[in-house]
Amino acid sequence: GNSVTQMEGPVTLSEEAFLTINCTYTATGYPSLFWYVQYPGEGLQLLLKATKADDKGSNKGFEATYRKETTSFHLEKGSVQVSDSAVYFCALLRFKAAGNKLTFGGGTRVLVKP
Amino acid sequence: SAVISQKPSRDICQRGTSLTIQCQVDSQVTMMFWYRQQPGQSLTLIATANQGSEATYESGFVIDKFPISRPNLTFSTLTVSNMSPEDSSIYLCSVEDYGGQIYNEQFFGPGTRLTVL
């Protein structure tokens, strides 16, 4: 079956540090890949996405590249801010006739200190 | 993208009671989904709700415990029945927005935080 594995947190960083959150997946075919972010006390927001191999998704300074050869979709940001403190979820979407299904990784909590 | 609201935003309930959560979307969507996020955990899909048909439940979830309604293309409800403390979670609805793209993506409501005593 489909699965997503991401690095466990919490990840604690200082402001302006470089952030990487590793994400690897197992799936048949060609899933779409997503990063969602959940800020404290809020619901999930779509951060970025990629739909095919070598696509790079980017938003708010975050980037992730769909690497089919390594089945990975690592999230990176060059200089984090305190406001980036949140839980980040990697997810894949498989198309199904009965309804497309999102499979989530376990989430990585990121804490950015001033 | 769709704007999604949920009611209630949070509730504290007694064990053995039931709670119905509402999900309203500002545009018509075909697919709606209900997820559960247990404390400190990731999201797990409960069921897929298409308008005009019975909801499709994932393994480990049953209709008697989580009945779902989907009366039209902008609204759905999830009921958590005969609650126990283990049902304490955030329940989120999501919708699928084709948006004219060649792929699909899901957008999430703000969630309903349920605590069962």
Who's near A96: CB < 8 A, 6+ residues apart? none
In chain A, which residue's Cα lies nearest the Cα of B110? A43
Residue among A43, A49, A100 whose CB faces B96 most closely: A100
| Omega within 30 of 0 (cis) for the link into B39 | no
State how far the Cα of A92 lies from the Cα of A24, in Å rounded to an integer.
Answer: 10
**Gap between the Cα atoms of B99 and B91, Å rounded:** 25
pLDDT for residue A113: 96
Look up residue B80 and give its amino acid: V
**A30, A44, A59: best mutation site toward chain B, by most B Cβ within 10 Å?**
A44
CA distance A16 to A82: 9
Within 8 A of B108 by CB-CB distance, chain A residues are 36, 43-45
Has residue B103 got a pLDDT over 60?
no
B1 vs A43, higher pLDDT: A43
Instruction: Mark which residues 7-46 of B lie under 8 Å from A by CB.
Output: 31, 33, 41-45
Query: Which tens digits make up the pLDDT trace of A92-105?
Result: 988 766 567 889 99
pLDDT bin (cut points 50, 70, 90) of residue B96 is confident
Contact of B60 with B77, CB cutoff 8 Å: no
What are A77-90's pLDDT values in tens digits? 999 999 999 999 99
How close, in Å, is residue B56 to chain A by CA atoms? 8
CA atoms within 13 A on the CB side of A111: 6
Binary contact (A51, B104; C-beta < 8 A)? no
Handedness of CA B52, B90, A1, A59 (dihedral sign): positive
Residues whose CB is less than 8 angstroms from the CB of residue B27 and which lie 6 or more positions away in sequence, other chains included: B2, B3, B74
